[in-house]
Amino acid sequence: MSVPAAEPHTGAHGAPAPAAAVEPRRWVPLALKGTAALLAGTAIGGAVLLKDSGPDPLLNYALLMTGAVAAGVGALWTVIGRHVLRAGTTLAAEARVIAHGTAGARIPVERYGDLAPVARAVNELADKLAGARRDIDRAVAESTAKAEQQKSRLAAILQELHEGVLVCNLKHQILLYNQTALDLLHLTGDLGLGRSLLHFVLPEPIHHTLERLTLRVREGRHIDHAHGTTAQFVGSTTDGRILLEGRMSVILQETDAAEGAPEITGPEITGPEITGYVITLSDATRELAALGQRDALLREATEGFRGPIANLQAALETLIDTPDLGPEDRRAFERAMMDSCTTLAERLEHVTSDYRSVMSGSWPMSDIHSNNLLNLVRHRVRDDAGYRVTLTGLPQWTHCDSFSAVVLVDHLIRRIHEISGVAEFDLSADHEGQWIYVDVTWSGAPVPSGTVDGWLDDPLADALGGLTVGDVLQHHKSTLWCEALKGREGCARLRVPLPPALSPPTAHQAAVRTTSRPEFFDFNLLHQPLATSELGRTPLDALHYVVFDTETTGLSPSQGDEIIQVAAVRLVNGRILTGETFNQLVNPGRKIPPESIPFHHITEDMVADQPTIDKVLPQFRSFVSGAVMVAHNAAFDLKFLKMKERAAGVRFDGPVLDTMLLSRMLQGDGGDHTLDGIAQRLGIEVVDRHTALGDSLVTAAIFLRMIDMLRERDIRTLDDAIRGANILVELAARERAF
């Protein structure tokens, strides 16, 4: 409510007159002076008048002064409330309006009396704001003109390139393209600026490549990466008629936070921002080129050898037929034979080099999940082989000739066993840099490098065409070596690098959850008694664990949501035993909400013929028997399991560790404690995320890293971990109680 006042003076065009034209009246100073005069007059007059009044003039005087003070304070408060507090509220409201007004927007100063200086300050700020807006508009106009000029220059340059080039924003809208791109896609007319590239090119490789580059930039790996901010991909037009080889380069814009900022290792990562990308496309004619190379190689290997061999044969026949040749003639024929032999050797070396190049460039390969690859190796090990292979580690996607790779790794393990007598091997796939390393690990000494090099000529019995170890490595442009394993005394490993997958299927799924599971702090589920037996005193790194996860129809078990998948992986002696897993779909007995399918990718058709939860839980309980259970946000999964215990006739009453609570113990409440957030901080590559088994594997890798960190905090045993988790749960319960 504004204070009544005279209408403000206006200028010639209706704008408010300058504030100095009318000097507003100051009511608060007048009220203070009036109150002071009133109290002084009352004090003097009362003293004179009541000097001889009644039996107790002092009491009468005190009462009079109390009333006078109360009246003065009340009057003063009325004036302050009307002329300061209410006017301040009105001034604040008008200031907010001024912030959205034009350059002529003003506050009438004469309306605000005692707050006139504040009103003038607001007007000054409004002038500066209007000036800043004008400067911004001018800068935007200049930048737009420069951008248009640069765009015109870039368009002229693009027209001269022999590759198809398209520039897109992050919404995949085409901002610029050249004629070659138009010809390559066999389109007539314009692609259409602003149209989506995904209307013309298959979207999955584009999405996948952009996701890879975004993750590379976000983690800062583009600085030292061999390909920087660029990645290659293979795609096709949407109609599938044209196979395309592409290269994507993201467009970076440095942010203020990244410029000169200190290195940040937490979940909040600042740095260059991706604003779009450039794609270069070419027709995939490598296969035809490889066929042409092979034809030329075949001609050289036949017709090219015919002349030198004929010369050599003629010289040799002459020497045989004419044994009485003179020394000079004989030396001439011998020189001719030597020249022919030299020519043959050179051509043979040239053909061999070309053969290796052609074979490495055109050998048929495909993307394959490392678990499938390594499982095939394990299945090749006979029962009477004298050794056993255990699959460990997180799965990866690789690009290889799976059959020859399986035969190769099986042969190498057998070779190591023959020379060392080792009976236990771990087999894993690790992603490091631009390679997927297939590692064969064992307890014992490394194989000498000379011995390993000697294996390159070993023929592989089951391989096609009599391939050798060296041939298979050449096809994959790879090598192999043996080394002592750092951090594990007395252990060694044999490493075989394989190329990473060109386009892993799981990366094509738009599987990133828009919402995450709520954090459950169920006191009854998470507050556990200490394991007072020997189990509780066992060091964390010596325990046997089962890491598990569930997928459900929704997030509310008490409102009818059901389990649709249960998965788990065993963790023993610091190793993720990927060969010992539990993975079972469950028929929930109800419809799966369509809105939940993008999160877990499980449809009703997939679970229609699957067993119900009362049949699955006894099998799962048997799998976890004797192990400490581990899960992320464990109360969520336990709630679903506990509600089905009676129907299944089982109990899950063993100790459970929650990686979400352990993360809070290690880092505090601040930060991102989701599975993705923790994995990102620890640098763990996430593969097959948002499946029950995939999440179990990621959780297992996170938990292994946490054991070392907990030890540094003097949390060494199972009881130590349970005690710390109980404290967090109690604190959470108390916070929610308030």
Q: Which residues contact 26 (CB under 8 A, 6 or more apart)?
A: 113, 114
Greatest CA span in the chain, whole angstroms?
Answer: 171
d(CA 62, CA 251): 82
Consecutive H or E run containing 474 = helix 469-475
Give yes or no for a contact between 250 and 276, defined as CB atoms under 8 angstroms apart.
yes
User: Which residue, among 250, 151, 164, has the nearest Cα to 201 in the 3D structure?
Assistant: 164
Q: Is 690 a catalytic residue?
A: yes
Q: Which residue has the tokens 């594990």?
A: 488
* Angle subtended at Cα 451 by Cα 445 and Cα 455, rounded to the nearest 5 degrees: 125
d(CA 203, CA 238): 8
Two tokens, residue 382: 């006979």
The catalytic position among 208, 431, 673, 690 is 690
Strand partners, 585: 565
Strand partners, 278: 167, 249
SS (H, E, C) 407-421: HHHHHHHHHHHHHHC
For every residue of 133-202, DSSP letters joined together read: HHHHHHHHHHHHHHHHHHHHHHHHHHHT-SSEEEEEETT-BEEEE-HHHHHHTT--S---TTSBGGGTB-
Two tokens, residue 289: 């080129």
d(CA 598, CA 192): 31
For every residue of 280-296, DSSP letters joined together read: EEEE--HHHHHHHHHHH
Catalogue the active-site residues.
690
